[in-house]
């Protein structure tokens, strides 16, 4: 335990990286995922088909492979993030960090799009028919009837996706971002005798973070959930 | 083109049909342009040279990719799901126990391993068990870590599956004088297995994707073979494409299998959904 306590600042900065990765790629993946789902349920068949092929391909590719792409393969064809270099205290948002954000966002956004799509599918057809029957335009049907219910129904699966994202940030540690897993590896190399204590501390940190995310999600679900 | 009824828009009339045709053409042109641009970028950066692709069609490397890579990866995934089923069965039934002494520890174990990143678990197991045992140490570190994670997810699947069996079934079993363990083994489990089968197969997709995390502990498998190839030939782009294609292919097969089992044995009901701590299954969802 003493390793963790003696190096508490390192541990906290590690989790600052973890939380930064989670928040930034969480928001970006929600935006990109919403865009994908908009194309996917839209009226143009070929666009629907193309996006669904894209989503299937990305969903079935391991996150690690996407990381390898952005770290080792992308730079070979000029995809790099060398222009990113923001340092805030010990929080280094450099090109490794940006590559991790890109990988996490691209991977997670496909799951976000699936979650929202399942929400849209959960809206009963009769709701839209009734909305059209009382004379709402397409925009009105969407804004006032379909989307509010769809987003509410999407809260639980979206929460699962975001929690998985939180745990997936650890993959960034393998690719040089100084987040929690990176620190665990450093500590266990230097203090092999204390590895179980180190592991339990970091694991509990993650349990707490996961509980926070699911608590927030539960509050949203309780406030927004649709009773059926 | 017949648009099926959708909650979002009416079936298009003749005017809308014409408009959609126009959009379709535009989108098609756009997509073709995008594809051409990507191919041109790859070509401009010399990614289509023979030196870069030749290793990937050389028999010796293809064999390494298929045998040392794909086969090992599939093995690790299959083993960990097999162990995970046992783990999940024990802890899933444990969570349903009437005795708090059994129920609470099982609950704690399942919640803990579901919330901890599998990579963290893998690193710990590797450093405390696998590090002195070479390649097989890394192999089993991956398998054990995936067993704990997928096992705790499957524990939830089993619990949900058993609870999805209609209550009258166990009531009737108790009424004809069966004991608690008999009700579980002879009435509930056999019916639950049918409901759970697709979820178990889908979990294999998760396990298969997660075997790639063995990269962090230099475990054998597709990622390691891929790494060896691109480090030797500097052909990162082609290798990543090929390795990704292997994973995608294997996962699509598994997904198709899960869908088939769902239709064949479970019927048209929704697959069993397990809420809570994030588990991003892969595959094209039904």
User: Higher-confidence residue: B212 or B273?
Assistant: B212
pLDDT (tens place) for every residue of chain A, 228 residues total: 677 777 888 888 889 999 999 999 999 999 999 999 888 887 788 888 899 999 999 999 999 999 999 988 888 777 788 787 787 777 788 888 999 999 999 999 999 999 998 888 888 888 888 888 898 887 888 888 888 888 888 888 898 899 999 999 999 989 988 888 888 888 888 887 888 888 888 899 999 999 999 899 888 888 877 665
Q: Are A109 and A32 in contact, with CB atoms under 8 Å apart?
A: yes
Dump the DSSP string for B207-238: HHHHGGGGGGGT-SSHHHHHHHHHHHH--HHH
Tell me the pLDDT of chain B averaged across its residues. 84
Query: Nearest CB to A181: which of B120, B128, B275?
Result: B120
For residue A160, which residues of chain B lie inside 8 Å, CB to CB?
275-280
pLDDT over 60 (residue B276): no
Q: Does residue A173 sit at the B interface (CB-CB below 8 Å)?
A: yes
pLDDT at B268: 63
pLDDT over 80 (residue B241): yes
Residue B148: φ, ψ to 5°: -60, -45
Using CA atoms of B125, B129, B131, B136 in order, give the dihedral in degrees to the nearest 10. Answer: -100
The CA distance from A51 to A42, in Å, is: 11
What tens digit of pLDDT does each residue of A24-40 get? 999 999 999 999 988 88
Q: Does residue B210 sit at the A interface (CB-CB below 8 Å)?
A: yes
Rg (CA), chain A: 21
Query: Which of A48, A68, A126, A133 to probe the B interface (max B CBs under 10 A)?
Result: A68
Contacts of A34 (CB under 8 A, 6+ apart): A112, A113, A116
- pTM across the whole model: 0.88
Distance of CA B102 to the CA centre of its chain: 30
Compute the count of residue pairs across chains A and B with CB atoms less than 8 Å apart: 185
What tens digit of pLDDT does each residue of B96-117 get? 888 888 899 999 999 899 889 9
Query: Nearest CB to A65: which of B42, B216, B244?
Result: B244
For residue B40, which residues of chain A lie inside 8 Å, CB to CB?
none
The alpha-carbon gap from B15 to the nearest alpha carbon of chain A, in Å, equals 13
Identify the H or E element spanning A154. Answer: helix A147-168
pLDDT at A64: 92
The alpha-carbon gap from B283 to the nearest alpha carbon of chain A, in Å, equals 6
Q: Does residue B251 sit at the A interface (CB-CB below 8 Å)?
A: yes
For A82, B88, B161, the CA distances from B273, given in Å and listed in that order, are 42, 16, 10
Q: Are A156 and A214 in contact, with CB atoms under 8 Å apart?
A: no
Name the 3-class secondary structure at A87: strand
Q: Vertex B30, ends B25 and B35: CA angle to 5°? A: 125
Q: Are B257 and B189 in contact, with CB atoms under 8 Å apart?
A: no
Q: Does residue A136 sit at the B interface (CB-CB below 8 Å)?
A: no
Query: What is the predicted ipTM?
Result: 0.86
For residue A165, which residues of chain B lie inside 8 Å, CB to CB?
278
Which chain B residue has the Cα nearest residue A143? B8
Dump the DSSP string for A155-181: HHHHHHHHHHHHHHTTHHHHTT--SHH
The CA distance from A76 to B237, in Å, is: 8
């Amino acid at each position: 335990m003493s390793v963790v306590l003696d190096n508490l600042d390192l541990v906290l900065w590690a989790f600052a990286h973890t939380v930064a990765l989670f928040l930034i790629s969480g928001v970006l993946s929600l935006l990109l995922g919403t865009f994908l789902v908009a194309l996917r349920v839209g009226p143009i068949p070929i666009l629907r088909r193309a996006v669904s092929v894209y989503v299937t391909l990305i969903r079935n590719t391991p996150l690690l492979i996407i990381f390898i792409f952005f770290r080792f393969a992308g730079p070979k064809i000029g995809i790099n993030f060398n222009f990113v270099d923001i340092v805030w205290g010990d929080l280094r948002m450099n090109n490794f960090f940006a590559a991790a954000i890109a990988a996490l966002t691209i991977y997670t956004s496909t799951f976000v799009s699936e979650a929202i799509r399942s929400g849209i599918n959960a809206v009963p057809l009769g709701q839209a028919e009734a909305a059209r029957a009382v004379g709402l335009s397409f925009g009105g049907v969407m804004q006032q009837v379909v989307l509010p219910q769809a987003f509410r129904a999407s809260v639980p699966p979206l929460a699962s996706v975001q929690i998985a994202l939180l745990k997936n940030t650890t993959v960034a540690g393998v690719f040089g971002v100084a987040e929690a897993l990176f620190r665990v590896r450093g500590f266990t190399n230097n203090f092999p005798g204390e590895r179980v204590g180190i592991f339990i501390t970091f694991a509990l940190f993650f349990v707490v973070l996961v509980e926070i995310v699911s608590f927030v999600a539960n509050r949203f679900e309780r406030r927004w959930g649709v009773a059926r | 083109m017949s648009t099926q009824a959708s909650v979002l828009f009416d079936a298009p009339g003749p005017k809308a049909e014409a408009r959609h045709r126009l959009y379709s053409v535009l989108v098609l042109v756009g997509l073709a342009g995008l594809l051409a641009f990507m191919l041109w970028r790859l070509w401009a950066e010399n990614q289509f040279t023979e030196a870069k692709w030749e290793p990937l069609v050389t028999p010796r490397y293809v064999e390494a990719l298929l045998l040392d890579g794909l086969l090992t990866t599939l093995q690790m995934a299959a083993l960990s799901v097999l162990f995970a089923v046992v783990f999940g069965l024990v802890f899933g039934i444990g969570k349903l126990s009437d005795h708090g002494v059994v129920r609470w520890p099982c609950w704690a174990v399942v919640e803990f391993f579901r919330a901890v990143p599998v990579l963290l678990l893998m690193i710990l197991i590797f450093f405390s068990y696998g590090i002195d045992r070479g390649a097989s140490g890394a192999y089993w570190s991956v398998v054990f870590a995936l067993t704990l994670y997928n096992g705790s997810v499957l524990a939830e699947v089993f619990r949900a599956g058993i609870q999805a069996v209609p209550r009258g079934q166990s009531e009737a079993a108790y009424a004809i004088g069966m004991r608690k363990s008999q009700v579980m083994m002879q009435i509930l489990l056999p019916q639950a297995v049918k409901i759970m089968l697709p979820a178990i197969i889908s979990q294999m997709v998760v396990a298969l994707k997660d075997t790639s995390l063995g990269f962090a502990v230099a475990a054998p498998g597709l990622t390691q073979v891929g790494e060896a190839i691109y480090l030797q030939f500097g052909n990162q782009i082609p290798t990543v494409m090929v390795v990704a294609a292997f994973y995608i292919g294997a996962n699509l097969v598994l997904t198709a299998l899960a869908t088939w089992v769902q239709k064949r044995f479970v019927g048209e009901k929704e697959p069993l959904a397990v809420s809570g701590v994030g588990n991003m299954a892969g595959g094209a969802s039904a």
